[in-house]
Structure 1
Amino acid sequence: MLLRLRVSLPDRPGVLGQVARAFGVMGADILQVTVLERQAGRAVDDFTVSWSGVFEPAELRERIGVVPGTRVESVWPTREVPGTSPDYDLLGHVAGEPDRALMTLVDAVPDLVSADWAVAVDSGDGKVVHGSWQAPEDVPASDLTPIRPSAFSEGTLHLVSVPMDGTHLVVARAQGPAFHRAEVDKIARLAGIVSVLARPGRLTSSPAAS
């Protein structure tokens, strides 16, 4: 299985190597490391690993946490396969079919940030315009249409809302940690590029009539 681990660790030479060795001892193959932040002598990294061990993910979390000064903040399943350039694939599909830009973005973005589902919400009436295949029928009743990209939580459900042209892109993670500001920035940038690639007035949930 593919897992993602969010790890807070001391930002000093040798610590990353210790963490990598701990993964190796447990039989986890590190496929990708994403640095989310570095400040005040600490770093927060997301590790994507291939895990076929006999232990539960919680055991993996516990074993990695024995590295001095290291804290595993969360472990959760991911469908994001490193090395496949899904960001470029998304933008290529949008450029090829700009009339379906919003649908394409909503369907693709959960896998790009290791989230569970996404929906597009009408900025006026708050109704769902389009949802990804795992989106629930009843979307949480929070204020999903802030004026700027925002991250917030509904209990254990973590959400990001990004304003677009007449809609808001809402991305949700039911498993795993709250969205980091680096992830919010990534989602906002993707939404902005998709808005540019879409034809004027065509950022809708279905192809417009010619």
Structure 2
Amino acid sequence: MLYRLRVSLPDRPGSLARVTQLLGAAGADVMQMTVLERLGGRAVDEFTVEWVGERDVAALVAPLERSTGVRIEGCWAAGEVPGSAPELDVLGQVARDPGRAVATLIDAAPTLFHADWAVAGRGGRGRQLVHTSWRAPEGPALPALTPMRPLAFAYEGDPSGHGAAAPIGASWLTLYVVRHQGPAFHRSELERLGRIVDVVLGVLGERGAARAVGGVAP
């Protein structure tokens, strides 16, 4: 099974090698590593690892937690196979079927962001839901947001849940992505979410984007 690990570690030579060594010694196969942040003498990295068998995932993170200077910010199941290009798949589907652009974006968001589900709606708190992804709950406890840019929020329906919200064009339509495991959405994830939405709208063009979000009739 694939897992995503977000790790904060000292930003100095040898720290990254030590983390990968500990993961390997625990039996994990490191398949991908992404640097999210380097600030104030520390780095925040995300690892995608393959963890074979039915072993408790605590055995994967325990050696890291015992390592001096290393902090585990989150460990959760990964939905994206490293080396794939899901953003390009989304853009291809949008180009082929512009009328389903919002639905395509919502359906793909959980995989793109290692989340559990996503919805698009107007009016905050899930009122007037336009589209829901697989596994989205009925009547999700969403905050009343009309964000001008992507932002993170604590999901009220689950004490351990985290969400991200982003505007879809100038339509008062908001995209919500929620995960029940793992850490809060990092600012690099929020920036990526905003870029993906912008690129999807750019592929559609001004009139196509208006149609996709319900701005004008087809």
Same-fold call, TM > 0.5?
A: yes
CA contact (8 A) 2:26 2:59 kept: no
CA RMSD of aligned residues (A): 1.9
Structure 2: gaps of 5 or more residues = none
Structure 1 residues 106 and 13, CA gap change in structure 2 (3 angstroms): same
- Secondary structure (helix, strand or coil) at the match of 1:201 reads helix
How many residue pairs get matched? 208
Query: 1-side partners of 2:122 and 2:29: how far apart?
Result: 42
- By how many angstroms is 1:86 displaced? 0.8
The one-letter code sitting in structure 2 at the alignment partner of 1:118 is A
Deviates more, 1:137-146 or 1:72-81: 137-146
Structure 1: gaps of 5 or more residues = none
Residue 133 of structure 1: aligned partner: 134
Residue 2 of structure 2: aligned partner: 2
Normalised to the residue count of structure 1, the TM-score between the two structures is 0.92
The one-letter code sitting in structure 1 at the alignment partner of 2:140 is V
Q: How many percent identity over aligned positions? A: 48
Pairing partner for 1:201 from 178, 193, 210: 210
Query: 2-side partners of 1:54 and 1:64: how far apart?
Result: 20
- By how many angstroms is 1:163 displaced? 0.7
Q: Deviation per CA, 1:2-58: give whole Å up to 9, x if none.
A: 000110000011111111111111110001111110000000011000001553111
Q: Deviation per CA, 1:112-144: give whole Å up to 9, x if none.
A: 111111001125894211000111111114213
Deviates more, 1:38-47 or 1:52-61: 52-61
CA contact (8 A) 1:27 1:53 kept: no
The one-letter code sitting in structure 2 at the alignment partner of 1:201 is A
Query: 1-side partners of 2:213 and 2:148: how far apart?
Result: 20
Deviates more, 1:143-152 or 1:158-167: 143-152
CA contact (8 A) 2:123 2:144 kept: no
Corresponding position: 1:111 with 2:111: yes
- Please list, as runs of the form range in 1=range in 2, the aligned pairs for 1:113-192 lying within 5 A after superposition: 113-123=113-123, 126-153=127-154, 154=156, 155-165=159-169, 166=171, 167-192=173-198
- By how many angstroms is 1:177 displaced? 0.8
- Secondary structure (helix, strand or coil) at the match of 1:88 reads helix
The one-letter code sitting in structure 2 at the alignment partner of 1:189 is R
Query: 2-side partners of 1:54 and 1:175: how far apart?
Result: 18
Query: 2-side partners of 1:62 and 1:143: how far apart?
Result: 38
Structure 1 residues 21 and 88, CA gap change in structure 2 (3 angstroms): same
Structure 1 residues 200 and 2, CA gap change in structure 2 (3 angstroms): closer
- By how many angstroms is 1:148 displaced? 2.5
Deviates more, 1:89-98 or 1:112-121: 89-98
- By how many angstroms is 1:209 displaced? 7.7
- Secondary structure (helix, strand or coil) at the match of 1:90 reads helix
- Secondary structure (helix, strand or coil) at the match of 2:193 reads helix
Query: 1-side partners of 2:55 and 2:134: how far apart?
Result: 30
